[in-house]
């Protein structure tokens, strides 16, 4: 269940961060508030259910990668192989952190 809350938190983060780009009118602010109201309670619930270090690492890593990809796919940010490489490196670190935390939990 912890993974559900982590990815719900990431989904909310992608909403509110993307809404920052459009927060010049009331509807932009409303979307921002909806994203925050999904993201932070989900992050708190995930932190209650799982290891905080793993929850936060996945939240930040997947969220950052998601924002970069949304910018490239929907908002005209230039596609850059270096960014793709760095996202891949970021995911490697996130997976390593999850693996290391699970390994420690089994001891």
Reading the chain (107 residues) residue by residue, the pLDDT tens digits are 999 999 999 999 999 999 988 788 888 899 999 999 999 999 999 999 999 988 999 999 999 999 999 999 998 899 899 999 999 999 999 899 888 877 666 65
Which residues, 6+ apart, have CB-to-CB distance to 87 below 8 Å?
A: 65, 68, 69
Q: How many domains in the chain?
A: 1
Give CA 46 to chain center in angstroms: 13
pLDDT of residue 106: 65
pLDDT at 21: 82
Q: What is the pLDDT of residue 28?
A: 86
53 and 101 Cβ atoms separated by less than 8 Å: yes
The structure's pTM equals: 0.85
**Which residues, at least 6 apart from 100, have a Cβ–Cβ distance to it below 8 Å?**
none
Half-sphere exposure of 1 (CA within 13 A, CB side): 6
């Amino acid at each position: 269940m912890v993974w559900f809350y982590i990815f719900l938190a990431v989904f909310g983060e992608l909403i509110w961060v993307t809404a920052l780009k459009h927060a010049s009118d009331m509807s932009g602010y409303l979307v921002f508030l909806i994203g925050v109201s999904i993201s932070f309670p989900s992050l708190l619930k995930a932190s209650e259910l799982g290891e905080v270090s793993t929850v936060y690492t996945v939240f930040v890593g997947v969220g950052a990668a998601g924002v970069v990809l949304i910018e490239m796919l929907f908002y005209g940010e230039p596609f850059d192989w270096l960014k793709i490489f760095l996202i891949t490196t970021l995911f490697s670190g996130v997976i390593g952190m999850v693996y290391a935390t699970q390994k420690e939990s089994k001891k």
